[in-house]
Amino acid sequence: MSVLKREVVPIQTSNDVVLARQKVRQWAVELRFTLVDQTKLVTAASELARNALDHGKGGTMAVEAIVNGARSGLRMIFEDRGPGIADIDQALKDGFTTGGGMGLGLGGSKRLVNDFSIESEVGKGTRITAVRWR
Amino acid sequence: MERIPVLRMGSLLLITIQVDMHDKLALQLQDDVTERISEWGSTGVLIDISSLEIVDSFIGRMLANIAAMSRVLGAETVVVGMQPAVAITLVELGMSLPGVRTALSVEAGMELLYGALKTGTENERLEA
Amino acid sequence: MDNLAEIISQNETRLRSEWIRTMSSAVERADLISKAELDEQCASILQAIAEGVKAGGAGSISGAGWTTARELLSSISASRARQGFSPSDVATFVLSLKQPLFIVIRENLGREQDRLFETIWSATKLLDSLALFTTDAYIATREELIVRQQQELLELSTPVVKLWDGILALPIIGTLDSARTQVVMESLLQTVVATNSKFAIIDITGVPTVDTLVAQHLLKTITAARLMGAECIISGVRPQIAQTIVHLGINLEDVVTKAKLADAFALALQRSGRAVVRTTAGPTSALAGLLKKQED
């Protein structure tokens, strides 16, 4: 697996979430994903970026164009130095939220991509990787 | 600060969302809609999202909130023009927006609202 | 291992012609590849192998020195796959280099038994790795082809039909898995927008079984259509399906279902404010016709 291109953007304000969406859209179009796949990627990016901002107190998003054998894909890595997630399994269940309101948890975002992984340590931070293959 | 315009058409409120909204803008819209319904006594709200290429859980909640709050204030809400890719993604995300009525187009939406108004409020005259 | 590299380079022409000769008797496909093209490919490979051994040694072919050889074998293998050669054709292509190579090695090192054994052993391991690598590359290309064909098949097998102004029908034939559901959803929703249709009848007469998963897929499609402002009616529910649905406790409360497509169509017409009216007198029965004749 190799990384062909990589860019990192900050996620510190709610406007950054919009910029993150636009960045992912741009890359998805360039990598020639179908419209539905583009929409899934951008929506996942929006969810995860917002998560990094609201729950993780701000962080970064890295977008990468990756290649694995014959497959090409887009990888997004969201990192924050927030409080971390104590129970990852719980966080992935639908309906779970630590903030008020109708939380969907991270399970929704997981369904929008092909590969999804969470690394988190309470008190240290969280790192979520999401990949969609073409 | 920029806001999404809320237009009045008789007893209806017409909102066309064309920009990529950041969270504050969405919350501002929620406030504006409830204010206007109270101010103008509107009985119908039509939200046109045919230009929206992304509806994430935040925007989804906003739409559900607007529908719920409007109903409490005596107005029906219809969301029109959702794009296929957006509908597919929302469903995958797990959002089905119960309590939010939908229509294919602005015309269909208005038909729905006027229809609802006719059956719901026989005493009030309809202003078009 | 400088010996191996030298041996290959110094005997290149001979190795090449012997290789092609050995290969042809094992894998005669003159219809798929011309002699000239084959000759060229073998020359490039021999050169790449010699370079690889010199730069990276014969121990492993994953290093940088073997990049040229790997890329060469990958592309040759891919084109073989597309041309219709079999996997063993492709492996034999590489392995038939062994015999000529061993002969040349023995000529050069015949007197030194230990070095002879070592070199032949390295050569055989090397060619085995190259053959395996080539076969893997072949399989990857075939899989890509299969995936693409599956995609095309999926798209062909879910037509969306316009029954009437604003009423669509989507007959599903075969199993409904998640891949198919994606295609069905996209196809249906795009047609809904294009034709401004408020009703979509999903006919599942051709779906063999409806278990919880299939029901979930159907519900996803129905929900997505609803989000857009269109309503789905499920038709073609066979008695066994109805039983399975109840037994599994699948909740279809919000979904309108009909046994027959005709019933679903009638419902859609009614819901869209239309009625079918007879404009001419109906055909008389044979008995009525007879009776009328008698009267005349």
Q: Show residues of chain B in contact with A112, CB under 8 Å.
A: 89, 92-93
Token readout for C228 is 């857009």
Note the pTM of the prediction, 2 decimals. Answer: 0.71
Helix (H) or strand (E) holding A23: helix A14-30
The CATH fold of domain A2-133: Heat Shock Protein 90 (3.30.565)
Query: Which of C167, C183, C228, C254 to probe by mutation at the B interface, max B CB count within 10 Å?
Result: C228
Q: Mark yes or no for CB contact B90/C229 under 8 Å.
A: no
CB B72 within 8 A of CB B40: no
Q: What is the pLDDT of residue A96?
A: 46
Q: Is a pLDDT exceeding 80 seen at residue A118?
A: yes
- Buried-exposed string C203-224: b where 16+ CB fall within 10 A, e elsewhere: bbeebeebeeebbebbbbbbbb
Q: What is the pLDDT of residue B108?
A: 94
Helix (H) or strand (E) holding C81: helix C67-83
Q: Is a pLDDT exceeding 50 seen at residue A101?
A: no
C194 touches chain B (CB under 8 A): no
Mean pLDDT to the nearest integer, A8-13: 95
Instruction: List chain A domain ranges.
Output: 2-133
Task: Note the pLDDT tens digit of each residue in C258-286.
Answer: 999 999 999 999 999 888 888 887 676 67
Helix (H) or strand (E) holding B8: strand B6-9
Alpha-carbon distance of B71 to B85, in angstroms, equals 28
Q: Show residues of chain A in contact with C82, CB under 8 Å.
A: none
Q: Mark yes or no for CB contact C224/B105 under 8 Å.
A: no
Token readout for C175 is 């199993």
Residue bearing tokens 């999404």: B4
Q: Mark yes or no for CB contact C227/B87 under 8 Å.
A: yes
Cα separation values, C142 from A24, B116, C82, C137, C139, Å: 31, 58, 8, 9, 5
Domains detected in chain C: 2-147 (1.10.490.10), 161-271 (3.30.750.24)
Instruction: Report the percentage of chain C scoring pLDDT > 70.
Output: 92
Phi then psi dihedrals of residue C265, to 5 deg: -60, -45
Instruction: Report the percentage of chain C scoring pLDDT > 90.
Output: 23
CATH superfamily, region B6-120: STAS domain (3.30.750.24)
Task: Note the pLDDT tens digit of each residue in C97-144.
Answer: 898 888 888 888 878 888 888 888 888 999 999 999 999 888 888 888
Q: Is a pLDDT exceeding 90 seen at residue A87?
A: no
C185 touches chain B (CB under 8 A): yes
Q: What is the pLDDT of residue B119?
A: 59
Q: Please compute Rg for chain C using Cα positions.
A: 34
B19 touches chain C (CB under 8 A): no
Q: CA nearest A40: which of C183, B55, C228?
A: B55
Q: What is the pLDDT of residue C260?
A: 92
DSSP string, C185-203: HHHHHHHHHHHT-SEEEEE
Task: Note the pLDDT tens digit of each residue in B5-51.
Answer: 999 999 999 999 998 888 889 999 999 999 999 999 999 999 999 99
Token readout for A128 is 């979520």
Q: Show residues of chain B in contact with C225, CB under 8 Å.
A: 87
Mean pLDDT to the nearest integer, A104-130: 89
Q: CA nearest C154: which of C136, C133, C172?
A: C172
Mean pLDDT to the nearest integer, B107-124: 71
Using the Cα atoms of residue C131, residue C135, residue C136 and residue C137 in order, give the sign of their dihedral.
positive
- Buried-exposed string A25-53: b where 16+ CB fall within 10 A, e elsewhere: bebbeebebebbbbbbbbbbbbbbbbbbb
Give the residues across from B7 on adjacent strands: B14
Query: Which of A34, A104, A116 to probe by mutation at the B interface, max B CB count within 10 Å?
Result: A104
Token readout for C239 is 């008695």
Instruction: List chain B domain ranges.
Output: 6-120
Task: Note the pLDDT tens digit of each residue in B60-100.
Answer: 999 999 999 999 999 999 999 999 999 999 999 988 888 89
Q: What is the pLDDT of residue C27?
A: 61
Residue bearing tokens 């809320």: B6
Q: Is a pLDDT exceeding 50 seen at residue A102?
A: no
User: Phi/psi zone of residue B125: left (φ > 0), alpha (ψ -120 to 50 degrees), beta?
Assistant: beta
Q: What is the pLDDT of residue C26?
A: 62
State how beta strands B12-16 and B6-9 pair. antiparallel
Q: How far is CA B68 from the centre of its chain?
A: 10
Helix (H) or strand (E) holding C170: strand C167-173
Phi then psi dihedrals of residue C176, to 5 deg: -110, 95
Angle at B73 between CA B72 and CA B78, to 5 degrees: 80
Q: What is the pLDDT of residue A75?
A: 96
Q: Show residues of chain C in contact with B92, CB under 8 Å.
A: 220
User: Phi/psi zone of residue C149: left (φ > 0), alpha (ψ -120 to 50 degrees), beta?
Assistant: alpha
Higher local confidence (pLDDT), A91 or C222? C222
Angle at A13 between CA A12 and CA A16, to 5 degrees: 90
Q: What is the pLDDT of residue C78?
A: 86
Helix (H) or strand (E) holding B48: strand B44-48
Angle at C272 between CA C267 and CA C275, to 5 degrees: 70
Query: Exposed, middle or buried: residue C252 (CB in 10 Å: 0-12, 13-18, 19+)?
Result: middle
Helix (H) or strand (E) holding C24: helix C12-26
Residue bearing tokens 């040229």: C68
CB B29 within 8 A of CB B63: no
Mean pLDDT to the nearest integer, A34-63: 94
Mean pLDDT, all residues of chain A: 88
Chunked mean pLDDT (size 10), chain C, 296 residues: 75 85 68 78 87 80 83 87 83 88 86 86 90 89 83 78 94 84 90 95 90 87 94 92 86 86 94 86 70 68
Phi then psi dihedrals of residue C283, to 5 deg: -65, 140
Candidate from C140, C182, C186 with C-beta closest to A70: C140
Instruction: Report the percentage of chain B scoring pLDDT > 90.
Output: 73
